[in-house]
């Protein structure tokens, strides 16, 4: 079976990619955010995952309002990036793992999820920026990837509870996989923000901090929220929290918060990073 080494939540604001492009990570504006990443990078160096399964949301590069799947999974040998108009460098292709992707797809369909299967798929900043944050300045991506896109753009959106069940089914599929891949589960986006309308610039620090704790200790409370409640609490774009909830669903029932950072604002967004791992006591028991 594949081994899930842990779960990561990361912001994916395009402006972060711009800061990386300008080498502005140590500028006073950006430093509080980037200073939260070294513990995660050290963890990755220690655990050495071979695959990243990433829950993210497409912003129009691969899907648009005329055709917007609720859940879409890549099953391609590679995934290319393209110019989105943000002025960000186009990233080199990401290596896929089609066999693992199809195994996950088949399990999800058997669990009555209606999945869009993508044998060609472009990935946008919601995917590329987190990868740059996790492995900065490298010549070759060290992992294969399985991209899973969740609709957070065109209503009706899937509920937090449905996204959690999606993640749980992905975790089940990985547990049944006969390969020996070491898998990091990543959820990207947010946290709270709203880009338009009367609440443009909205950030809800209290709710963000609650979510960062609930993802560890009370995920069921988050799954009970409706989409209108989530919009009210986190903003219209803050619904990207659905990606973090799906990430949490793929992890074991009990996890511990190994690292967390939170900073506001980045652009007009609440930015965070989170590392969830198996409780240390359980890891020691298994090693023994």
Query: How far is the C-alpha of 87 from the C-alpha of 256, rounded, in Å?
Result: 38
**Residue 284: per-residue pLDDT:** 44
285 pLDDT more than 70: no
57 pLDDT more than 90: yes
Task: Give residue-wise pLDDT tens across range 187-212.
Answer: 999 899 998 888 998 999 999 999 99
When pLDDT is averaged across residues 159-188 and rounded to a whole number, the result is: 97
Phi, psi torsion values for 120, nearest 5 degrees: -135, 140
Task: Give residue-wise pLDDT tens across range 28-41.
Answer: 999 999 999 999 99
The set of residues, in sequence order, having a beta carbon less than 8 Å from that of 241 and lying 6+ positions away, is 160, 189, 190, 191, 211, 222, 230, 234
When pLDDT is averaged across residues 224-243 and rounded to a whole number, the result is: 96
Task: Give residue-wise pLDDT tens across range 136-157.
Answer: 999 899 999 999 999 999 999 9
Q: Is 155 designated active site?
A: no
Q: What is the DSSP string of 51-105?
A: EEEEEE---SSS-BTTB--SEEEE--SEEB----SS-PPPPPPEEB-HHHHHHHH
Q: What domains sit in the chain, N to C, each tagged with a CATH number?
A: 3-287 (3.40.830.10)
To which residue do tokens 């028991």 refer?
285
Of 12, 59, 107, 193, the active-site residue reads: 193
287 pLDDT more than 70: no
Q: Are strands 182-188 and 3-10 parallel, antiparallel or unpaired?
A: parallel
**Residue 282: per-residue pLDDT:** 57
Q: Is 125 designated active site?
A: yes
Query: How far is the C-alpha of 118 from the C-alpha of 106, rounded, in Å?
Result: 13
**Residue 139: per-residue pLDDT:** 87
Of 12, 107, 125, 263, the active-site residue reads: 125
């Amino acid at each position: 079976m594949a081994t899930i080494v842990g779960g990561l939540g990361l912001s994916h604001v395009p402006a972060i990619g711009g800061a990386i492009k300008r080498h502005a990570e140590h500028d006073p504006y950006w430093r509080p955010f980037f200073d939260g990443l070294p513990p995660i990078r050290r963890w990755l160096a220690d655990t050495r995952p071979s695959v990243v399964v990433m829950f993210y949301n497409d912003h129009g590069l691969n899907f648009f309002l005329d055709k917007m799947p609720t859940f879409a999974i890549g099953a391609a040998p590679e995934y290319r990036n393209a110019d989105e108009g943000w002025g960000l460098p186009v990233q080199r292709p990401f290596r896929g793992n089609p066999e693992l992707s199809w195994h996950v797809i088949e399990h999800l369909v058997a669990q009555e999820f209606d999945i869009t299967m993508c044998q060609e798929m472009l990935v946008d900043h919601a995917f590329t920026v987190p990868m740059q944050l996790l492995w900065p300045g490298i010549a070759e991506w060290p992992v294969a990837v399985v991209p899973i896109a969740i609709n957070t753009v065109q209503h009706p959106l899937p509920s937090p509870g449905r996204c959690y069940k999606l993640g749980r089914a992905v975790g089940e599929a990985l547990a049944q996989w006969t390969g020996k891949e070491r898998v990091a589960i990543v959820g990207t986006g947010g946290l709270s923000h709203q880009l338009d309308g009367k609440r443009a610039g909205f950030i809800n620090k209290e709710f963000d901090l609650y979510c960062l704790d609930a993802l560890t200790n009370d995920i069921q409370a988050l799954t009970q929220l409706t989409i209108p409640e989530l919009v009210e609490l986190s903003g219209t774009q803050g619904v990207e929290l659905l990606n973090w909830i799906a990430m949490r669903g793929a992890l074991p029932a009990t996890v511990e918060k190994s690292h967390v950072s939170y900073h506001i604002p980045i652009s007009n967004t609440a930015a965070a990073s989170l590392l969830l791992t198996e409780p240390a006591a359980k890891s020691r028991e298994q090693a023994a």
